[in-house]
Structure 1
């Protein structure tokens, strides 16, 4: 049986977080195009109010190039930028990372991670947004309930994202 964990914040007791692991599986598909650029990707959780509950990952070009630093293009991740990105000081420790190559990428979080440590039980949506230079934009959503019970969900992109999966163990 999994134990409930309680966190004290400013002397107040918050809602319980459950001893669970959240796994996100994101596929970056191989595209047959003349000019390929790795996509910028933002992965976050939204609460039932559609506000950002936790930023899980933001993948972008982190080196300066002739075109500038990669943060210049983060507003192209429109939904994430409007809801959360423009209010963050980048890079965010444990969230920010470099763009990823074609293939399957698995991210794991548990109640000890800063992203989920204070996440109260409730209804959430996993959101994955991808945008690529000289390419397209895609946004996928997977609703779930954060309650300590095992569950899973899937979505499939049609252009910039392949299969996206969510598993709670």
Structure 2
């Protein structure tokens, strides 16, 4: 009986620790209007990195088998894109200027760096990041605007 109770306590503790590291990230960002030259819609990638491991969350691109500009998301391409043949499961078409909200589940990491990268065909490139620690009391993060991506607000719900 003592072994059964110890086993139940261990399973419960493991279950609670797994639940405590699960979090929802609400990422709100803007794609700015560009008024110079050709105004192509940007490619956008959002992913998390922790100790050399990468977790892809979102990729917006042309969704064409001949999508030659996908590698313009340079860091994402080096870390994930050229290796991951399953990116279609999280992709969407490029989007024009506006405000966007995306929700992601992070279930396996307590600390990580969230990256947002945007690039336009014949245009600029932006790569921004922030460190996120699900164990501290910070529930909102801000990343200032860059050339191809507007201000980013990340809300964490444990």
Matches of residues 1-169 of structure 1 in structure 2 within 5 Å? 6=15, 16-18=18-20, 19-47=22-50, 49-52=51-54, 54-63=55-64, 69-70=66-67, 72-93=68-89, 95-110=90-105, 116-117=106-107, 119-121=108-110, 123-147=111-135, 151-169=139-157
Q: Do the aligned partners of residues 6 and 55 (structure 1) sit closer, same or farther apart at CA in structure 2, a change above 3 Å counting?
A: farther
Shift of 1:57: 0.2
Q: Do the aligned partners of residues 5 and 60 (structure 1) sit closer, same or farther apart at CA in structure 2, a change above 3 Å counting?
A: farther
Deviations 1:71-109 (A, max 9, x none): x2211111011111111114431x111111101110112
- Aligned-residue CA RMSD (Å): 2.5
Query: Is 2:69–2:121's contact at 8 Å kept on the other side of the alignment?
Result: no
Query: Is 1:138–1:157's contact at 8 Å kept on the other side of the alignment?
Result: no
Shift of 1:36: 0.3
Distance 2:25 2:137 in 1: 11
Q: Do the aligned partners of residues 44 and 17 (structure 1) sit closer, same or farther apart at CA in structure 2, a change above 3 Å counting?
A: farther
Determine the structure 1 residue equivalent to 2:8: none
Larger radius of gyration: 2
Shift of 1:39: 0.5
> Which has the larger helix fraction?
2
Distance 1:5 1:148 in 2: 20
Q: Work out the number of aligned pairs and report it.
A: 145
Normalised to the residue count of structure 1, the TM-score between the two structures is 0.75
Distance 1:20 1:105 in 2: 20
Q: Do the aligned partners of residues 161 and 5 (structure 1) sit closer, same or farther apart at CA in structure 2, a change above 3 Å counting?
A: farther
Normalised to the residue count of structure 2, the TM-score between the two structures is 0.80
Shift of 1:141: 0.5
